[in-house]
Structure 1
Amino acid sequence: MKNVKLFFHKLTNWEYWPYQVVYFPVYFQYLFFAARAKSFFFFNAANPSIKNGGFFMESKKEIYDLIPQKYYPKTILIPQATPTNEIVSKISDSHIQFPVIAKPDVGLRGTAVKKLYNEKDIESYASKAKFNFLIQDTIPYDKEIGLFYVKLPNSKHGTITGIVEKEFLIVTGNGQNTIREILNTDPRYQFQIKALEKEYGAQIDKILPLNESINLVPYGNHCRGTKFIDASIKITPKMITTFNAICSEIEGFYYGRMDIMFSNYEDLENGKNFQIVEINGAISEPTHIYDPKHSIIFGWKELLKHYNYLYQISIQNNHKGHPYLSFKEGISEFKKHNNYYNTILDF
């Protein structure tokens, strides 16, 4: 019965629909743009300093290296098969403190992102990771948003096209029910129980004390149970000015979503007390569309609008001398992506 209810919840809430369905009208727009650009991989020129424009197989570490250090947490790259003692030594030398965040250098919708509390956790993560990964300081702010930024290369200034707030998978105890029982009261959380069983084991069957809260997934990913809330109303002229200045310091960045943790909107507006979790390039979604209050029609309009921006930016950068990927190169990169996809899903 529970599975049937979850099926109908997915069916009647389009935020859970397969991306092939959500993106259906975008495919036709994309083919039209590809024909006009005479390149199926025109998006490569969207962000010239990021591999493949940030559409696939881009290194997060290489993107961090484009960002001034003051804007993101201390981060180190750990090559696959690095011994645990070397990892711990690198963490110490970099003055990164436990708990740390570990995540693949080439990401995939939040897969294999973990919070690690000690050397034992490091050893466990490294033993399973068949990929290069990053270790980061935990960001000291508790609010997270995705801020979508676009700038036409021929324009002096860009703009913010949307902000999504992220409501983490946090449960609060009543002193009577187990964590599992609390999770079962919300379909959004029910979808995550299998993954949480794998991560927390028997802990999810413990009773959570009255008013005690626990953040079961401390990173804002929709696939991991985070609720997305459209906060575009928070965009102000001052915030746009601030992020035009910030993004001007990031070489070759014209299109994408910046995931940001911050203290409050007033400080963010003034460029204070925030850190960039990561920057997503040409593959970025305007994730404010996944607010449950929005219709699929709203989602389609926003997707089409943003892919139009992607096309316009790519064309202008191409005219400035930034090449598109050839069809052969693009197919090769796509095959690498598929192989990597299968590897990371095995984590």
Structure 2
Amino acid sequence: MNSIQRILHRPFFIKLFNWEYWSFTTVYICIYPVWFLLCLRARSLFFFSASNPSIKNGGFLCESKKDIISIIPPEHHPPTVFFSIPANGDMVLRDLQRAGLQFPLIGKPNIGGRGRGVKVLRDEQDVIDYTHKAYLDFHIQEFVPWKNEAGIFYVRYPDQPNGVITGIVGKEFLSVTGDGKRSILQLLQQSKRALMYLGSLQKIHGNGLNRVLAEGEKLIVSPFGNHARGSKFVDDSHLADAQLNSVIDRICKLIPEFYFGRLDIRFDTWEALKEGRNFSIIEVNGAGAEPTHIYDPKHSIFFAWKEIIRHWIILCKISRMNHKKGHRYLSMKEGIAMFREDKEWSKKLAAMKE
């Protein structure tokens, strides 16, 4: 690696030349005027709250995962147990045992996003530690064994009998392949993507990063399908054929008054998913969902802006249609309270250590 390559391999320059690592504000600031134009058209700064009437705030912010899971058909999501703080680790273990959950498990805050506070729980001690560090209500669910994960964006206008897929993101978990010589840490240091999350990975794996993998041995170092946790997002929107669209439409219509959002799904194969089998919905995101296929490294920031605006326009139209049907927008007081509440949740999520 020459001197120029070494410089470009530093996190600052990786972030500078790859917009997918830019902050939320940096990505969105140039298109905020479009959002405010839509607010003017809807005559509300909080029009989005009417998009999915069965979800708090339309699923824009502060929605409860407990409430959302309760409206998803149980056969389509993993077994889950919810807990309120303060919680006792021994009692949590007892409740998990009663519910029949098996390790490995996943711990998640009841309110959150972008992978914040999410942790793999491999044994009873992990559960006790997670419970002890929980600063807000949380839930624990079985780890879905299917090897693939995707985010499928779905929209349906309230006056239409069927909806459509508007984007699909495939997720490639952050991994390394051993050469029998270098440690996991050394392999990670050779990857520009891994470098952006190295601090987080060191907290998760500790001294385990010093292990040397056998030649050809592949290790997933971050099993989370979140961009903020290292996954590479790939635009698979071309896979949205009539068969897949029909399956997703059928599933989404089982969720009461769900018109706009993204399903995060673990599945075995695309073929099985298109047949409506071997999959599990691990999360439903509403009005605040991004069309995350934009984060495919092959896409420019201009493509991202176009897709975000396209979905904003759809969100506005759906919200206005629901509003005419009698679903109210948040008032100014309620909208401000929502953002304040989200700020408080964010502080608590930041306090939850890896």
Q: TM-score, normalised by structure 2?
A: 0.96
Cα distance in 2 for residues equivalent to 1:3 and 1:199: 26
Match of 2:137 among 114, 132, 137: 132
Match of 1:6 in 2: 11
**1:337 match:** 342
Map 1:90-239 onto structure 2 (within 5 A): 90-239=95-244
Question: 246, 253, 269: which is aligned to 1:248?
Answer: 253
**Residue 21 of structure 1: how far off its partner (Å):** 2.0
Q: Secondary structure at the match of 1:23?
A: helix
Q: Report SS of the residue matched to 1:148.
A: strand
Letter in 1 for 2:127: I
Separation (CA, whole Å) in 2 of partners of 1:233 and 1:35: 34
1:33 is matched with 38
The alignment-based identity, stated in percent, is: 43
In the TM superposition, what is the alpha-carbon distance from 1:4 to its structure 2 partner?
7.1
Q: Which runs of 5+ in 1 are unaligned?
A: none
CA shift for structure 1 position 170: 1.4
Q: Which residue type is aligned with residue 199 of structure 1? A: I
Bigger drift between 210-219 and 273-282 goes to 210-219
Q: How many corresponding residue pairs? A: 347
State how far apart, in whole Å, the 1-side matches of 2:117 and 2:213 are: 26
Which residues in structure 2 correspond to 1:50-61 (within 5 Å)? Answer: 50-61=55-66
Contact 2:79/2:141 (8 A) holds in 1: yes
Q: Which residue of 1 aligns with 2:321?
A: 316
Contact 1:176–1:207 (Cα < 8 Å) also in 2: yes
Q: Once the 2 structures are TM-superposed, how far is the Cα of residue 26 of structure 1 from its aligned partner?
A: 3.0
Distance across 2 between alignment mates of 1:346 and 1:101: 18
> Quick one: which amino acid aligns to residue 271 of structure 2?
E
Counterpart-to-counterpart distance in 1, 2:256 and 2:89: 34
Q: Return 5+ residue gaps in structure 2 as ranges.
A: 1-5
Could you tell me which amino acid in structure 2 is paired with residue 207 of structure 1? Answer: V
* Residue 304 (structure 2) pairs with residue 299 (structure 1): yes
CA distance in 1, matches of 2:88, 2:213: 37
The letter of the residue matching 1:169 is L
Q: Quick one: which amino acid aligns to residue 56 of structure 2?
A: K
Mapped to 2, the partners of 1:143 and 1:171 lie a distance apart of: 17
2-structure distance, mates of 1:78, 1:148: 29
Contact 2:177 2:216 in 1 (8 A): yes
Letter in 2 for 1:103: K
For the residues of structure 2 that align with 1:307 and 1:25, how far apart are their CA atoms?
14
Normalised to the residue count of structure 1, the TM-score between the two structures is 0.98
Which contiguous aligned blocks of 4+ residues in structure 1 show a shift greater than 4 angstroms? 1-4
Deviation by residue 1:72-122 (Cα, 9 ceiling, x = unmatched): 000110111211111011111111101101011101210111110111101
How big is each residue's C-alpha offset from its partner over 1:237-284, in whole Å with a ceiling of 9 and x where there is no partner? 111111111111101111001000111111111211110010111110
Give how far 1:2 is off.
6.1
